[in-house]
Amino acid sequence: MTMPLTSYSVVKEHFKQVDPAILTVLETLTLADWFENRPSEDHFYNLTRNIIYQQLAGKAASTIFERFNNLLGGNITPQVVLKFEDQSFRDVGLSWAKAKYVKDLASKVADRTIDLSKLDNLSNEAIIAELTKVKGIGRWTAEMFLLFTLHRENIFSYGDLGLKNGFSKLYGITTPSNTQIKEIVDRWSPFESYGSIALWHFLDNR
């Protein structure tokens, strides 16, 4: 699964003009590497996955999600989720809170409080407003959904610690404020998502 809706060469030319430091990092990464472990285009599947992955290291999150998926017979849908008691999800490794969050997501999708089929046509902020109706989905989770599932190209999450740490290392600014970060990130528009990926990559490979 590759990202660019815009030609990657256009993206690189943009950063060459507005932020050569990000361009240097982009030249060292393969965008597909950031999407190959996200095998589904199904919005409910991905949101469920995002909830389970919250605040967990990748390997632990992957193990728990695999157990969850196996419990549901590989059929992660609202209807199937709602057939299970919270204890069943707890038994495969979800916290009590995440079990309730997954059930709340399933309930709100099933009763069409949230219509996932309409998300693709909404603005970023409208999507965030919709998704944060679900218990356990905050702005960060919604932003990750925008970037990795909908492939929106202009996403930077100010609440993401990894991005802040990557920014600090790349630009040599100790404990940067959101104002300092925004001053640079605003230059990236309309391709903030690529800058985000560059910062994560730089932090992981420094």
Q: Crossing angle, helix 192-205 and helix 178-188, to 10 degrees?
A: 120
| Longest pairwise C-alpha distance within the chain | 54
Q: Where are the alpha helices (DSSP H) in the chain?
A: 8-18, 20-26, 43-53, 58-71, 78-81, 86-91, 96-110, 124-131, 139-148, 161-171, 178-188, 192-205
- The one catalytic residue in 42, 86, 104, 160 is 160
* CA–CA dist 193, 190 (Å, integer): 8
Active site residue 111: no
- Mind telling me the catalytic residues? 160
